[in-house]
Amino acid sequence: MKKQYLLIFVLALSLTFFNSCQKSAEYKALIVTGQNNHKWKESSPVLKKLLEQTGLFSADIATSPEKGGDMNTFNPDFSKYNLVVVDYNGDSWNEKTKAAFVDFVNKGGGVVIYHAGNNSFPEWKEFNLICGLGGWGNRTEKDGPYVYYKKDSMIIDTTVGRGGSHAKRHEFEVRARIAEHPILKGLPMRWRHGSDELYSQLRGPAKNMEILATAYADTTGGGTGRDEPMLMTIKYGNGRIFHTALGHADDGGGPALECVGFIVTFQRGAEWAVSGKVTQKIPYDFPNVAAVSLRPDFKEMTLEGDLAYIGTYDITKSTKYFTDLQSRIRYEAKTPQDYQKFEKAMIKILQSKEATDDGKKLILHELSWMGSDLSAPAIKDLVSNAQLKDDAEFALARLATSK
């Protein structure tokens, strides 16, 4: 009997422990896909991964029948979710599904319109109100004005003409227009975006819409010469909508989808759509105007990842992991104990037999300004290595003078 009680106790304890480790996500997201002139089989799993990476969302994917299939069978239960992500551009939904979607937004559900999602449903009035602006699908002046920036003013342009175009794919600069909006707050005012289609000439009802960021469609590349809307928010009923025109997907990802600018604004926009606020930290690898920043594996950078990479570094490789490590030290180390934590991790690389000399040089450079007596013995050991002698002696001299 006693033994049984003990077993139950241990079981209960381990269950409690297990539950406390498995903190469940706060919000449920549904990614709607299954038809698109884009590679939805590539993009949808990435969008799911990006949402779940925030720790805020769990995400399901609802896949429609193939083009020309029986759309009466497509009835996702939006009401079970806090967020719907539209990665869909295909056959019309049935009336019941359309009504359920509008009801979901009216009641305060969040929506993210992703890239070609804004091409869909040209005939569906409510969807276009939710979307704000759309393109293609024979959209013209009948669907609403063009909306864009010229110099520093927003222009609502009712000129006759097609809706939707884009020049050849290229890298371009995204520029914040409402920098204090929670989605953009703390991000650079301008950053360079991975090669993408710069959606232009979008038109639509644009009711209750704010343009958060634009990109200049350069005429030399066949663009419109306007600052075209890239990131928008729309209010519809009690719902909040985040609309990103960015993120064209290639096989396995591609520079538009892998762009940290796309990833972070998508993640922040999704949180804002469900809660009206953004709690996510801005990562150190967010791009600036000088260079595009990509995450080919869609993973957030971590200290462990930085150190592992630096251990394999040679001068032909990217230094972005080293830059990330430097940023972590500068922004995260507040106390001597914090500095020691970083210092100890770096000493391990100096002492590692597998780590490359080029990787060790980066570490020596960093330790030369932030190291302490703690790292001096490991640095001294490297003086006998002809490749590292100069760097090690330099670091030792700097450490000695900084006392």
Which residue in the block uniquely carries the two structure tokens 């914090």? 338
Question: How many Å apart are CA 368 and CA 401, to the nearest integer?
Answer: 10
Task: Tell me the closest approach of the beta carbon of residue 115 to Zn ion, in angstroms.
Answer: 6
Q: Nearer to Zn ion by C-beta: 164 or 182?
A: 164
Strands (E), 25-169: 27-33, 57-63, 83-86, 110-114, 146-150, 153-157
Binding mask 169-198 for Zn ion (x = CB under 5 A): ----------------------------x-
Question: How many Å apart are CA 347 and CA 343, to the nearest integer?
Answer: 6
Q: Nearer to Zn ion by C-beta: 243 or 248?
A: 248
Closest-approach residue to Zn ion (CB): 248
Nearest to 143 by CA among 130, 133, 156: 133
Total of residues contacting Zn ion (CB under 5 A): 2
Nearest to 214 by CA among 205, 202, 204: 202
Site for Zn ion in 193-212 (CB under 5 A): 197
Are residues 210 and 179 in contact, defined by beta-carbon separation less than 8 angstroms?
Answer: no
Q: Nearer to Zn ion by C-beta: 197 or 271?
A: 197
The pairing of strands 57-63 and 27-33 is parallel
Q: Nearer to Zn ion by C-beta: 186 or 252?
A: 252
The Cβ of residue 125 has, within 10 Å, a number of other Cβ atoms equal to: 11
Task: Tell me the closest approach of the beta carbon of residue 116 to Zn ion, in angstroms.
Answer: 5
Distance from chain centroid for Cα 226: 25
Q: Nearer to Zn ion by C-beta: 134 or 182?
A: 134
- Could you say whether residue 248 binds Zn ion (CB under 5 A)? yes
Task: Tell me the closest approach of the beta carbon of residue 33 to Zn ion, in angstroms.
Answer: 14
Task: Tell me the closest approach of the beta carbon of residue 374 to Zn ion, in angstroms.
Answer: 52
Task: Tell me the closest approach of the beta carbon of residue 242 to Zn ion, in angstroms.
Answer: 18
Task: Tell me the closest approach of the beta carbon of residue 256 to Zn ion, in angstroms.
Answer: 8
Task: Tell me the closest approach of the beta carbon of residue 136 to Zn ion, in angstroms.
Answer: 11
Binding mask 318-357 for Zn ion (x = CB under 5 A): ----------------------------------------
Q: Nearer to Zn ion by C-beta: 246 or 270?
A: 246
Site for Zn ion in 14-43 (CB under 5 A): none
49, with CB counted inside 10 A (0-12, 13-18, 19+), is: middle
Please tell me the number of Cα atoms within 13 Å of 42 on its side-chain side. 16
Q: Which residues bind Zn ion (CB under 5 A)?
A: 197, 248
